[in-house]
Amino acid sequence: MHISTNPWVWIAFFFTLSVYTFLWKDNFLYKIAEHVTVGVGMGFWIVLWWDQTVVGQFWIPLSTNFGTNFHLIVPAIMGLMMVTRIIPKYAWMSRYALGFTIGAGAGFALPRVIQGGILQQLYATLLPIDFSSTGLGYNLIIIIGVLSSLIYFFFSKEHKGVFGGIANIGIWFLMVGFGATFGYTVMARLSLFIGRVLFVLGDFFGMQLF
């Protein structure tokens, strides 16, 4: 065992322990860690966006070659129009910039989302039912799962009789889905904790872990 002499590792160790003290109860150390995280994160983003976007994407291209980059003034003006939201008298100007952003975003996204998120997913449920040793009827389970879950979310007909029975099967599929998601969530949270334990044992205490 060899405790690290790197001050950054000590700082990270201090904040790791500070965050976990919350498990005992809310306290001063946790609050320090929480506020530092929020502050550092926000500061990082502001500097980065200023440097990469305003300076990198606007100021440098415009100041080095105005002739070919003068069109950048248009998005810059629209960006300023967004900021008018903080002045109630001129807030209406922000709607034009927002309208452009939403319109362009939706225009880019809609055809691809329909293709990738709906049509290709739909094709993936139109499957041959295969009971061979490789297929094992999994495709049938997918088809039943999709149809029964969709029927559960069909609210224009009362869930009674055969329709209600299929909707109930849909509930079972949904429950299995929620269970899998919850199981994975537990695994994820533990992984993050394990990550911190690896840091404390490996980086701070210098233990050989693998």
- Rounded to a whole number of angstroms, the minimum distance from the CB of residue 199 to another protein is 8
Tell whether residue 117 is a contact of another protein (CB under 8 A): yes
**What's the rounded Cα separation, in Å, for the pair 190 and 175?**
22
Q: Helix 92-113 to helix 73-83 angle, to the nearest 10 degrees? A: 120
Tell whether residue 112 is a contact of another protein (CB under 8 A): yes
| Cβ 73 vs Cβ 80: under 8 Å | no
Tell whether residue 136 is a contact of another protein (CB under 8 A): no
User: In this structure, what token pair is assigned to residue 184?
Assistant: 């994975």
- Rounded to a whole number of angstroms, the minimum distance from the CB of residue 109 to another protein is 7
CB atoms under 10 Å from CB of 97, counted, come to 19
| Cβ 152 vs Cβ 178: under 8 Å | no
- Rounded to a whole number of angstroms, the minimum distance from the CB of residue 5 to another protein is 19
Among 27, 52, 63, 68, binds another protein (CB under 8 A): 52
Among 99, 103, 194, 206, binds another protein (CB under 8 A): 194
Among 108, 154, 163, 172, binds another protein (CB under 8 A): 108
Of 6, 13, 2, the C-alpha closest to 197 is 13
Cβ-based nearer residue to another protein, 87 or 122: 122
Using alpha carbons, list the distances in angstroms from residue 168 to 144, 157, 180, 203.
12, 14, 19, 51
Tell whether residue 44 is a contact of another protein (CB under 8 A): yes
Binding site for another protein (CB under 8 A): 23-24, 41, 44-45, 48-49, 52-53, 56-57, 108-109, 112-113, 115-117, 120-121, 123-124, 142, 177, 180-181, 183-188, 190-198, 201, 207, 209-210
